[in-house]
Amino acid sequence: MTDTDLPLAGLRVLDFSQFLAGPVAALRLCDLGAEVIKIERPQGGDLCRSMVVNDQRLDQDSLVFHTFNRGKKSATADLKQPADLERVRGLIKTADVMIHNFRPGVMERIGLGYETVAELNSGLVYGAVSGYGTNGPWVGKPGQDLLVQSLSGIAWLNGNAEDGPVPTGFAMLDVATAGNLVQGILACLLRRGRTGTGGLVEVDLLTSAIDMTFEQFTCFLNDGQKPPRRHALGNANPYQPAPYGVYKTADGYLAFAMTPLATAAELLEAPELNAYAQDQAFSHLDEIKAIVAKVFLSNTTQHWLDVLEPAGIWCAEILDWPAFVKTDGYKAADLVQTIGTPNGESAQTTKCPIRIDGAAPTGTDVAPRLGADTADVFGAAE
């Protein structure tokens, strides 16, 4: 697949965002063929360039920065300087999409709020990312993934009953918010094809948090708003009845999904489970799960997979990453690509998760050096 075959080829995206949610959305548009230009501060650029994680760098910048800015261009502009701002305004006239994740009100003060920009380019799709929306007392809070997981209740869904709050070990809400932004942008681009007019797409981490937990939050809303009851052991979803959860085996761990109690009693050779009717699978879940946990601990993970999988039971070994990358499933999924610099530096990272016409778009370019494309970008706009 060539660049011109990709569905967004010919579209120009201006990415004013930094850190994660906005840049990940722009990355996905880039993966699908759009020209993405990062507009960065001349001094330091995107703060993520210097956010070194695990002491890993590539081509002078943080490796993490490259993972969600690969394949883009970089042009520098100081939006507080009238001359630079005017050049950016000229570039906006050539764009199809622009994305930012400044706090509400910042772009308006700069002079690049949606209403102002729409007058420059009526066909532009304008994407804005925030932490908590544009209204309410939390607008000024930092919109960071861990903080929003904490405020939204997500951290109290994970872990067992006796644990404290347990957030996810990755930036779940940033990635989910980026996906929501991409969906909104693509929808507005389709509408523009009919009407010729762009639009405003607004997403925020808090709304994405509640949207991601729609199943559990709906249960909460319709259960007298009682706190979710995390299971005493093996908690995987506080609203799923026993034996749903994760269990220790003699040599590892096993995930055990929805299974009728009578079936579990037979397959696990656990007649004690017959003391509980199916409609008691939630009201007596701790007692039931304690029985199941004792049985699973008596043999190996592979033994239980051999018992359960032929019977059509939904179950899986719980793998860590070193074990996962050794599996045939990992190899068949073809999840990784190598990005490289002209001077021979390289690193592995993930691929675009979308397949177009049977193939996943791949780009081998790293993220751009700060300002590498300034002359070309603004020269083309003038």
Using an 8 Å Cβ cutoff, are 26 and 183 in contact?
A: no
Using an 8 Å Cβ cutoff, are 39 and 88 in contact?
A: yes
* 243: preceding bond cis by omega (within 30 degrees): yes
**Is 197 part of any domain?**
yes
State the Cα–Cα distance between residues 294 and 249, nearest whole angstrom. Answer: 9
**Is 191 part of any domain?**
yes
Phi and psi, residue 34, nearest 5°: -70, 150
Which tokens sit at 43? 């001094």
Q: Which residues does the annotation mark as catalytic? A: 174
In one letter, which amino acid is 314?
A: W
Q: How many domains does the chain have?
A: 1
Domain of 121 in residue numbering reads as 3-211+354-381
State the Cα–Cα distance between residues 238 and 268, nearest whole angstrom. Answer: 23
Directed axis angle between helix 82-92 and helix 374-381, to 10°? 70
**Is 174 part of any domain?**
yes
Q: 3-class SS at 204?
A: strand
Using an 8 Å Cβ cutoff, are 88 and 112 in contact?
A: yes
**Is 177 part of any domain?**
yes
- Residue 381: predicted pLDDT: 52
Query: To the nearest 10°, the Cα dihedral for 125, 129, 130, 131?
Result: 150
- Residue 285: predicted pLDDT: 95
Using an 8 Å Cβ cutoff, are 58 and 68 in contact?
A: no
Directed axis angle between helix 21-31 and helix 172-195, to 10°? 50
Gyration radius of the chain over CA positions:
25
Domain containing residue 151: CATH number: 3.40.50.10540
Which residues in the chain come in under a pLDDT of 50?
Answer: none
**Is 122 part of any domain?**
yes
**Is 217 part of any domain?**
no
State the Cα–Cα distance between residues 29 and 182, nearest whole angstrom. Answer: 7
Contacts of 145 (CB under 8 A, 6+ apart): 20, 171, 172, 173, 174, 205
Listing DSSP states for 118-167 in one string gives HHH-TT-EEEEEESS-SSSTTTTS---HHHHHHHTTGGGTSS-TTS----
State the Cα–Cα distance between residues 356 and 362, nearest whole angstrom. Answer: 11
- Residue 363: predicted pLDDT: 77
DSSP 8-state class, residue 356: B
- Residue 360: predicted pLDDT: 85
State the Cα–Cα distance between residues 232 and 288, nearest whole angstrom. Answer: 11
Tell me the per-residue pLDDT of 110-130, one tens digit each, with 9 for 90 and over: 999 999 999 999 999 999 999
State the Cα–Cα distance between residues 72 and 292, nearest whole angstrom. Answer: 51
State the Cα–Cα distance between residues 136 and 204, nearest whole angstrom. Answer: 13
9 alpha-carbon distance from chain centroid: 24
Adjacent-strand bridge partners of 58: 61
State the Cα–Cα distance between residues 234 and 255, nearest whole angstrom. Answer: 9
State the Cα–Cα distance between residues 27 and 17, nearest whole angstrom. Answer: 11
- Residue 2: predicted pLDDT: 66
**Is 314 part of any domain?**
no
Give the strand pairing for 346-350 and 336-340.
Answer: antiparallel
Number of residues assigned to the chain: 382
**Is 298 part of any domain?**
no
